[in-house]
Amino acid sequence: MRNVKQSKFIGFLKKLGDGFSAVMHPKGYVCIGCGTELKEEYHARSICPECEAELHYRTGDLCALCGKHIEAGHICSACADHPPLFDKAYAVFDYDGLARKLVISYKDGEKPWLAEYIAKYMKDYASAMEITADMLCYVPSSEASILRRGFDHAAKLAKLFADYADITAIGALKRIKQRKDQTKLNATERFKEVADAFALNSAEAAKLVEGKRCLLIDDVLTTGATASACAKILKEAGARSVTVLTFAR
């Protein structure tokens, strides 16, 4: 699904740079990927050209619903079989190369400040793709992972994104079923496993969500099962639409 917005986005990438503030980097003018000192021309984006080449923007033919790479047609076979409950999912990068390394370094707590860069890439992508929303929500982490990491990784990305985009982020959702290891599950099993894992955080959250276009933030989209389960709750609360945006997939 190569469309006008995507062409616009590619044009935008060529101009990208102004919005990236090197001062966000706590260690000064070094590359977020490899840590080498950067020449002045790369300060604005805090990334060296070699590392940047390792970030693969998701372009080409993508499923109109979940954003999966497809060979032909409009939507992927998984979406045809089980349509997701969100309206559309976008991801900035393929989950490989540097994008994968950044997510892991961020979530492991090794480089928590990477959140600022990850959220900035997401915000710039959303602007370029003209993704609009009334409010941000995020996929809530399990208590175990918050305890382990010391922070809620998607909440942190959503709050930074909200600051950059001047939009409100709310913790509308909570996890009511603890996360099991999903790596051994196939797509159908994952959908079943997370289907009842979430609930609204409060009656207040329901009021805030009603009639709104929600942008649901997470770091990585895999099968889309988690995002779909969250979208179900938001829509039951009256959300007008739920668009999903992740850093990678």
What residue ranges bind Zn ion (CB under 5 A)? Answer: 31, 33-34, 48, 51, 63, 65-66, 68, 76, 79
- Cβ proximity to Zn ion: between 76 and 99 the closer is 76
SS3 content of the chain, % helix, strand, coil (to 5): 40, 15, 45
Residue 62 CB, nearest approach to Zn ion (Å):
8
Provide the angle, in degrees to the nearest 10, between the axes of the packed helices 225-236 and 187-194.
40
Residue 35 CB, nearest approach to Zn ion (Å):
7
Residue 148 CB, nearest approach to Zn ion (Å):
28
Cα–Cα distance list, 209 to 15, 65, 121, 232 (Å): 35, 22, 25, 12
Residue in this structure with the two tokens 């991801």, named with its chain if needed: 91
Residue 32 CB, nearest approach to Zn ion (Å):
7
- Cβ proximity to Zn ion: between 76 and 216 the closer is 76
- Cβ proximity to Zn ion: between 106 and 161 the closer is 106
- Cβ proximity to Zn ion: between 42 and 161 the closer is 42
Cα–Cα distance list, 188 to 4, 36, 80, 192 (Å): 33, 43, 13, 6
Closest CA to 133 of 224, 57, 211: 211
- Cβ proximity to Zn ion: between 21 and 168 the closer is 21
d(CA 104, CA 61): 27
Residue 170 CB, nearest approach to Zn ion (Å):
27
